[in-house]
């Protein structure tokens, strides 16, 4: 296997973590998990698909909220056990209404503003 043809570690893991990063600003927006099927759907559609471990199902980011992620590029880490989605985010990435899921510090200080009201989106 060459450096340019990464082996994805799905045989060692049921799913891999995928970090969604704003392709323009570099801001980290969220972390989710993907299965081989979620990755395949993402590559087919250029829209981010993930696997919900709590609901045990494949889901397309923004299918309910309209806050979609257009995937511009997918990168693989050196071990093949994590992915980086470079994306163009429509609206907020976080279901709580923030642009990024990383909107607060470890001490609980909110360092961002809400970009939408989740009660209006997830009725």
Q: Would you tell me how many other CB atoms lie within 10 Å of the CB of residue 20?
A: 25
CA 48, 99, 88, 29 torsion: positive or negative?
A: negative
Taking a C-beta distance cutoff of 8 angstroms, is the pair 7, 1 a contact?
A: yes
Is 78 part of any known ligand binding site? yes
18: how many CB neighbours lie within 10 A of its CB? 23
Give me the sign of the Cα torsion angle 94, 95, 97, 103. negative
Please indicate if the annotation marks 94 as binding a ligand: yes
- In degrees and rounded to multiples of 5, residue 4 shows phi and psi of -90, -10
**Is 107 assigned to a binding site?**
no
Binding residues: 77-79, 81, 94, 101
Binding residues for Mg(2+): 77, 79, 81
Binding residues for Zn(2+): 78, 94, 101
């Amino acid at each position: 296997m060459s450096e340019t043809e990464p082996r994805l570690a799905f045989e060692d893991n049921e799913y891999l973590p995928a970090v969604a990063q704003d392709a323009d600003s570099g801001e980290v927006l969220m972390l989710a998990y993907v299965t081989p099927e979620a990755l395949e759907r993402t590559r087919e559609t250029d829209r981010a698909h993930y696997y919900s471990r709590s609901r045990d199902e494949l889901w397309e980011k923004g299918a309910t909220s309209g806050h979609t992620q257009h995937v511009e590029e997918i990168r693989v880490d050196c071990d093949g056990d994590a992915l980086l989605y470079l994306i163009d985010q429509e609206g907020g990435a976080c279901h709580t209404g923030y642009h990024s899921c990383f909107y607060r510090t470890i001490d609980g200080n909110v360092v961002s503003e809400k970009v939408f009201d989740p009660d209006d989106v997830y009725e």
